[in-house]
Structure 1
């Protein structure tokens, strides 16, 4: 497979934490046309092997196959590229999410007509979560969708915060960024330590997440919404206050998220 002309912007705030492995995997992928081989060539402590999608037997759930074999079926596309990078950067968290999927599948007796609230929450986390470590004032304003504070009076607090995109579907969307891309934000406390760029920089958050995530906790969907191109420094257009007046993107609070409920 030849990679498309449009490539990730590795200098953008949402993709930069994936350096330098992102570029290395992409170069291997370009050379071989085999994304699973490219990911394996750069693999470290992920605890899994990447295999072509054809290795997934017909009728076997994707999550079940990973749980049983520690092999990740991989297509040569951007979606699975970013999924693979998350396995390389957050291996313990990805294994934990997969273990919870496997336990839920066992409890349900396999794949049913519906996924159920736990599997839905696990999939949402895997596909669309952004991890945020931020001062209390900024987190509270974000949870209440007080956008004039989040991006106005409290704007300077973003410099004291760390936001890392974990969801591989969100990362895929950001190859072609558009204003409406919205992530489900999960708060990382200060005691989880810091998080830098690259897999070595993510080890503290990875270890904390792997120990913190439980089925009951995720069932409550402890997330708040964030249109990611509103983050200061991530998109040139958001330097203008009018950027945030688009209520089709920066929507008012309609229902209390679980993080605000007693």
Structure 2
């Protein structure tokens, strides 16, 4: 490394972490090419993209001023990609979950066509963005799901700890993957329930693309999960006091007792 140059963040990716297990095979060689070859991220992704894939990858300056990012992808089939971890992981998700990413982009474009680009996203675009950036898929026994929805963290991670051997969490959001390059206890995924066992990324992709329907997405069907609390994902959680941090493992919101009903505060 030349004197005075900061180390590349691509060198900080620890592909041995459990959350990167589904991504290691495809992602590690690409990150190595970026790190060792000084190649632009969009070029590395483009070379690795299979023929017939839903999108290609382009330098960021190809996105014209005044055109929404999602609309440009929908219109051209090209993803503007910067030389950073955020866009690298986005490209990796496009490669591993092509059907789902295409479905998310289609729904974004439809919402833009209907409502235009506004200062505040509507409920559908907001839900799409939340999942695209920070989503994860969890297949788990019903007891774990009940404890997660109740945000009963002690039951979820301590009392039911053996049940996590029957669960599988696959991270989807590219911002989530980026943040976990430098792990911190508060990092939280927005979890979507996988209705079937997660046998492979390809089967998960096919199911998820069909599952993401606008009428369901607008209900925000996601549950917050601090991912470093998962047994086996972080050494610190072997000491159960890890879960006593109320700033991270927060209680479920209380429900209003007003006569207007039981809206969540």
TM-score (norm 1): 0.91
Counterparts in 2 of 1:104 and 1:204: CA distance versus 1, 3 Å = same
TM-align CA RMSD: 1.6
Shift of 1:194: 2.5
Q: Using the alignment, how far apart are the partners of 2:97 and 2:10 within structure 1?
A: 28
Structure 1 residue runs of 5 or longer lacking an equivalent are 196-200
Query: Mean Cα displacement is larger for which, 83-92 or 14-23?
Result: 14-23
Helix, strand or coil for the counterpart of 2:22? helix
3-state secondary structure, aligned to 1:186: strand
Aligned to 1:144: 150
| Counterpart for residue 204 of structure 2 | 205
Deviation, structure 1 residue 3:
2.7
Give 3-state SS (helix, strand or coil) of 1:11's partner: coil
For 1:101 and 1:4, the matched residues in 2 are separated by 30
User: Structure 1 residues 255, 95: closer, same or farther in 2, change over 3 A?
Assistant: farther
Partner-residue secondary structure (3-state), 1:171: helix
Q: Work out which structure has the larger RCO, using CA pairs closer than 8 Å and 6 or more positions apart in sequence.
A: 1
Deviations 1:138-178 (CA, angstroms, capped at 9, x unpaired): 01110100111100111111110110110111111101001
Runs of 4+ in 1 over 3 A off after TM superposition: none
Kept in 2, the 8 Å contact 1:24–1:42? The answer is no
Kindly state the Cα deviation for residue 242 of structure 1 after the two structures are TM-superposed: 0.5
Q: Which residue in the other structure is 2:82 paired with?
A: 75
Does the 8 Å contact 1:118/1:215 carry over to 2?
yes
1:198 maps to none
1:216 Cα deviation after fit: 1.4
Partner of 2:62: 55
Aligned equivalents of 1:118, 1:253: Cα separation in 2: 23
Q: What residue in structure 1 maps to residue 258 of structure 2?
A: none
Distance 1:255 1:92, change over 3 A: farther
Task: State whether residues 32 and 38 of structure 1, in contact with CA within 8 Å, keep that contact through their aligned partners in structure 2.
Answer: no
The 1:11–1:187 alpha-carbon spacing in structure 2 relative to 1, beyond 3 Å, is same
TM-score (norm 2): 0.90
Equivalent residue, structure 2, for 1:222: 221
Assess if the C-alpha contact under 8 Å between 1:237 and 1:243 holds in 2: yes
Q: Is the 8 A contact 1:46 1:92 kept in 2?
A: no
CA contact (8 A) 2:10 2:85 kept: no
Residue 240 of structure 2 is matched in structure 1 by: 241
Whether the 8 Å contact between 2:135 and 2:189 is mirrored in structure 1 is: yes
Match of 2:72 among 55, 65, 76: 65
Q: Quote the Cα distance in structure 1 between the aligned partners of 2:10 and 2:171.
A: 23
Q: Does the CA-based 8 Å contact 1:46-1:87 persist in structure 2?
A: no
Q: Displacement of 1:8 after TM fit?
A: 1.1
Structure with higher Rg: it is: 2
State which of 191, 194, 198 in structure 1 corresponds to 2:198: 194
Q: Deviations over 1:59-110 (max 9, x none)?
A: 10000000101100000000001101100110000000000001101111x2
The number of aligned residues is 249
Does residue 36 of structure 1 match 2:42?
yes
SS in 1 for 2:9: coil
